[in-house]
Structure 1
Amino acid sequence: MEGILVPLITPFAADGSIATDALAALADDVLTQGAAGIVALGTTAEAFALDADEKRIVLDICAQACADHGASLIVGAGSNDTRSSATALAEHPHVDAALVPVPYYVRPGEAGVLAHFTRLAADTPVPLLVYHVPHRTAQPLSAATLLTLSRIPDIVGAKVASGMTEDAVALLGDCPPDFAVFAGDDTYLSPMLALGARGGITASAHLATAQFARLVSAWHKGDMATARPLGHTLARLATALFAEPNPTVLKGVLHAQGRIPTPDVRLPLLPASPESVAAALTEATE
């Protein structure tokens, strides 16, 4: 796997139900514009607020779009409990990979994280991507732990959302060549690619998808004349889209563009302010 993987939002209709037609259109659009795949039921999808039936609807729509385009399908799965995470992973045997967060809230320590992923990798049939996002999990990981994870069989990559930190740089420098590191903080996509990231799991790529795909291609080809200015442009867009909790600003922009029927999110999220949406719209049109 490489390239831009878009963690799709879940659009809602005015009555609060999933806007299935809009979701299908978004999936088709980002894949048509150059995304290499879709992440279903990730953080950006508000998976925490979807019931089991709604999750199945989202996954079915994303799976169909990926099948139509020959694209990769990754599913967000797992929690801070090892046993329930293994059960959840067993429910998705036909996806290309599962994006599994480092256990959150319980703060099991780095040895506990290693034991968690070692057990999951041994017990489940799905290739795993480690989701390293310490500002959400409250569980930082050292470079040594990340490198150990990169060498566990059936852990095929990681979404690194820790910014341009020493652990991210060390992982990119020393992980096995078949281990796919994806940038997880949209603003740092370009420098992560410059250091060897395989691509990005990039919510901002709902917008300007073709440009995000072009950025990955440019860095992989060593075309710095293209990559550097384009990376700065897309970083400004990403910064604007994350001015308020994800995916509130993104949904506001997509609604303003007529691509989803409402900008609605589910509590405890609140819709983004008009000022943040307007600022992001300006970056999206430049």
Structure 2
Amino acid sequence: MSLSGLYVPLITPFAADGTVALAALERLAHDVLDAGASGVVALGTTGEPSSLSPVERAQVLDLVAAVCLARDAQVLVGANDATSLGSLKATAALTLVPPFVRPGEDGVVAYFRALAASSAVPLVIYHVPYRTAQPLSVATLRRLAGIPGVIGMKLATGAIDADTVALLADPPPRFAILGGDDVLISPLLALGAHGAVLASAHVATAAFAELTRSGDAGLGLRLARLSAALFAEPNPAVVKAVLHADGRIPTPDVRLPLLPATPGVRDAALAAGLGAAGPISAGTAVVP
């Protein structure tokens, strides 16, 4: 199985009455696939899964999986425990390095070895140490890549550090490295990342998809400015505010502990993603 190109971790849109806006979610999934995404992520952190009820999570997953099945597109699903992984129907599971407990590098390897052995689908490890508080050396990243059933990693270290460079300079065979830092995606692709998982790509999806194909540095710089504006407040508040302003979702609402984007930040993101050509939709290929 090969993972490459652009994957959009879908937000969960909410209706005015607070319920999940399933029709809007379905449109978003089709929009990003129409614009060139290789696939989507359901129930990733951008989708606010911890704020969803079990019924809502099942509704989201069923809908997104059905869209991807009909479109012959890949779907990654945020899943972090043996119960979820044992019955999951998806291309792969996006599984977080255990947060907060800091089990050490040997503990992380043992954890993923056990999860992969019990999972119904392959695993893509989500390594985001500035959130999990668990750093991993390049040697440990290579150990993880060698676990049967682990097929890739969303790499989001927050910097282009020495371990990132070493990993991308000599990537493990048959192991997809997907960049997960939106602002840094252009240099990550230039160093050899196979693709990207980007919440920013809800906006100007076609441009981000083109970046994963071409690596165009000028396009990457323009998109980095857009990503910086979209991440100026906790994700996905600003993304939702922009999508709502563009008429693509019914409300900009997020659920606690997140708060809606402040008007100034929303307007700055709109300015980054809007120009003389008018609204930036999923299909717009160039960012001003």
Aligned counterparts of 2:233 and 2:28: Cα–Cα separation in 1: 22
- The letter of the residue matching 2:228 is T
Q: For the Cα contact (< 8 Å) 1:7–1:42, is it kept in 2?
A: yes
Per-residue CA deviations over 1:71-128 (Å, capped at 9, x if unaligned) read 10100000xxxxxx11111120x21100000000111111110100011112222100
1:18 is matched with: 20
Match of 1:235 among 200, 212, 224: 224
Question: CA offset at residue 209 of structure 1?
Answer: 0.5
Question: CA offset at residue 207 of structure 1?
Answer: 0.6
Aligned counterparts of 1:67 and 1:124: Cα–Cα separation in 2: 20
Match of 1:156 among 137, 148, 151: 151
Match of 1:89 among 85, 91, 113: 85
Map 1:207-286 onto structure 2 (within 5 A).
207-219=203-215, 227-285=216-274, 286=288
Q: For the Cα contact (< 8 Å) 1:86–1:120, is it kept in 2?
A: yes
Unaligned stretches of 5+ in structure 2? 275-287
Q: For the Cα contact (< 8 Å) 1:146–1:167, is it kept in 2?
A: no
Per-residue CA deviations over 1:132-179 (Å, capped at 9, x if unaligned) read 011111111111111111111110000001031222222212232310
Question: CA offset at residue 61 of structure 1?
Answer: 1.3
Q: For the Cα contact (< 8 Å) 1:3–1:198, is it kept in 2?
A: yes
Q: For the Cα contact (< 8 Å) 1:90–1:125, is it kept in 2?
A: yes
Match of 2:115 among 96, 99, 120: 120
1:222 is matched with: none
| Number of residue equivalences | 272
Specify which structure has the higher proportion of helix. Answer: 1
Does 1:185 find its partner at 2:219?
A: no
Unaligned stretches of 5+ in structure 1? 79-84, 220-226
SS in 1 for 2:183: helix
Per-residue CA deviations over 1:168-218 (Å, capped at 9, x if unaligned) read 222212232310000001011111111111110000000111001111111
SS in 2 for 1:212: helix
2:33 is matched with: 31
Larger deviation: 170-179 or 243-252?
170-179
TM-score normalised by L of structure 1: 0.93
Superposed CA RMSD in Å reads 0.9
SS in 2 for 1:258: coil
- The letter of the residue matching 2:225 is R
SS in 2 for 1:187: coil
Aligned counterparts of 1:189 and 1:204: Cα–Cα separation in 2: 11
Runs of 4+ in 1 over 3 A off after TM superposition: none
Question: CA offset at residue 53 of structure 1?
Answer: 0.5
TM-score normalised by L of structure 2: 0.93
1:196 is matched with: 192
Match of 2:127 among 125, 132, 137: 132
2:172 is matched with: 176
Aligned counterparts of 2:147 and 2:21: Cα–Cα separation in 1: 39
- The letter of the residue matching 1:245 is P
SS in 1 for 2:238: helix
